[in-house]
Structure 1
Amino acid sequence: MPSFSYRCPQCCTTSPRVLTHDAALAEQAIHRDQFHGGHRPDGDAVTCYRTERWSEADHLERWITVVLVAVILLVLAYNTL
């Protein structure tokens, strides 16, 4: 699932990640109102993070599962000979 954050380059700040684009837009509106008088700082943007689907622990668990399945298949193939 993607996550989103708002970045203000003028203030050098990034909001915490949120789950929806609308929530990131709300972060943007709050920041603009509080720190920029409602104006849009040059270069501010909402960013979508789609590539972080798996943590390193998830990758390790997937590799362990693949190895275990391969070993089981090899054992079953050897026993049928």
Structure 2
Amino acid sequence: MASAEDFLIAEDEAIEIIKDQISIIAGEWDANCEIAGLSPTDKSLFAGRQFLNPYCVEGLGNDHAELIRHFERARAHLTG
């Protein structure tokens, strides 16, 4: 959020961009893992570690609770 102004966007616009990225990662996860030929083990290891790692939302406060919930739902989808 702190760098949003460096990209000449408002914080609320940055939040929407981030939510869209999170949604795309979660929504396309299974298809992209299949295209990549990942084994179930590799898919499981990547989910929630390299992609949608819990540290992504570390430090976000209560004023970003909606974004955190969105992230956690998407991460739960990946980690099943």
Range into which the TM-score falls when normalised by the shorter chain: under 0.3
- For the pair shown, which has the larger CA radius of gyration, 1 or 2? 1
Q: TM-score of the superposition, structure 2-length normalised?
A: 0.26
Q: Which has the higher strand share?
A: 1
Q: TM-score of the superposition, structure 1-length normalised?
A: 0.26
Query: Which structure is higher in RCO with an 8 Å CA cutoff and minimum separation 6?
Result: 2
Q: Which has the higher helix share?
A: 2
